[in-house]
Amino acid sequence: MRTVSIHASRPYEVRIGSGLLPDLGAQLRELFAAPRSVMVVSDDTVSALYGPAAECSLRDADFRPQRFVFPHGERSKTLLTYAALQQTLLSAGFTRSDLIVALGGGVVGDLAGFAAATYQRGIPYVQVPTTLLAAVDSSVGGKTAVDLPGGKNQVGAFCQPALVLCDPGLLHSLPPQEYQNGCAEIVKYAMLSGEPLYSLLLSEPVSRQPEPVIAACVEIKRDFVQADERDTGRRRLLNFGHTVGHAIESCSGYAVSHGPAVAIGMAVLTRAACHRGICPPETLSALERLLAAYGLPTHTDYSAQAIARAALSDKKRRGDALPIILPEALGRCRVETIPARDFVSWLRDGGLS
């Protein structure tokens, strides 16, 4: 087992090891005395696959597990599901000395985390990520939220988990497209940090070495979170590729999934940075090599105008200024705030028509 300690406003450990799920109860007993009630929050797919093992392990450690299950997918990450979870906690008599376990991908983690942040003004929660994206990104760092009809993650809170228990064995059942979504985030970490992650990713596919890769990504994310927990400065670098990526997802009506969209976003902005002399051509080649190794795309047919329109309608954007993340070299990126009206020309420099 590998352990990464996160020294955020609330310190906690990320424990990574194949076969950890059956040990969930015992791991929690190190932090929480039993008996106490535990609400295991999952979507229907994950619940069917791993709910019984999680509950069995909790029961063996003298916890009282209950399950809250909702239909899988982003469409469930709503105030409605959140309210149903809150009501379930209340009806089941949960108090602040009880516990929530988020067993699932980023949707489950974000929703369960937000419920934990707010139920009775805050109860502890534990992340058990079951997607590669959740393992390397969403389970760590304490961003919790639900969506509004007008925008993603519009209602939420910063709330760090008490523990992240990551069992890469659970990723075997992940559909290839979901795996690829995680790989795009991993490529992003390699661009932000450079070596040794860059070479590690080229040496063998992530699927053959999930533990060291997940640990490396969590360590990189730890450094951003510790430096800027509330996401007002350095942590924004973690959005590399995401402004364009979200716009591509939106233009395609979500037919292009998150990973490929972010991959194209990173490629577009790296080409633009290269074109403007911000990074050398070797940085672009390094990114393209990694994206090719993971079967991720670098081009889209959407026009610069269409992407800019979608990106600039993002509800989280304020005023006329748009922060974009640009690579200066492999392992070094910067935030540059540009006038929103200039975005189209950056996208054209990035190869869009």
By CB under 6 A, what part of segment 180-209 binds ligand NAD? 181
With binding defined as CB under 6 A, does residue 188 bind ligand GLY?
no
DSSP helix/strand/coil, 220? helix
Size of the site for ligand NAD (CB under 6 A): 30
Select from 106-114, 290-298, 313-321, 339-347 the region that touches ligand NAD (CB under 6 A): 106-114
With binding defined as CB under 6 A, does residue 173 bind ligand NAD?
yes
DSSP helix/strand/coil, 268? helix
Rounded Cα gap, residues 174 and 288, in angstroms: 25
Tokens encoding 225: 């979170």
* 229: DSSP letter: T
- Chain centroid offset of residue 16 CA: 16
Q: Could you say which of 16, 134, 291, 311 contacts ligand NAD (CB under 6 A)? A: 134
Rounded Cα gap, residues 236 and 63, in angstroms: 38
With binding defined as CB under 6 A, does residue 243 bind ligand NAD?
no
Report the chain's C-alpha Rg in angstroms: 20
CB nearer to ligand NAD: pick between 57 and 283: 57
Tokens encoding 226: 């510790």
Q: What would the x/- binding string for ligand GLY be over residues 122 to 141, using CB under 6 A?
A: ---------------x---x
* 210: DSSP letter: H
With binding defined as CB under 6 A, does residue 143 bind ligand GLY?
yes
By CB under 6 A, what part of segment 240-299 binds ligand GLY? none
Rounded to a whole number of angstroms, the minimum distance from the CB of residue 242 to ligand NAD is 9
Burial 329-346 (b: 16+ CB within 10 A, else e): ebbebeeeeeeeeebbeb
Rounded to a whole number of angstroms, the minimum distance from the CB of residue 238 to ligand GLY is 4
Rounded Cα gap, residues 337 and 323, in angstroms: 4
Binding footprint of ligand GLY on the chain (CB under 6 A): 137, 141, 143, 231, 235, 238
Binding footprint of ligand NAD on the chain (CB under 6 A): 43, 45-46, 49, 72-74, 77, 104-108, 110, 130-131, 133-134, 137-138, 141, 143, 152-153, 170-171, 173-174, 178, 181
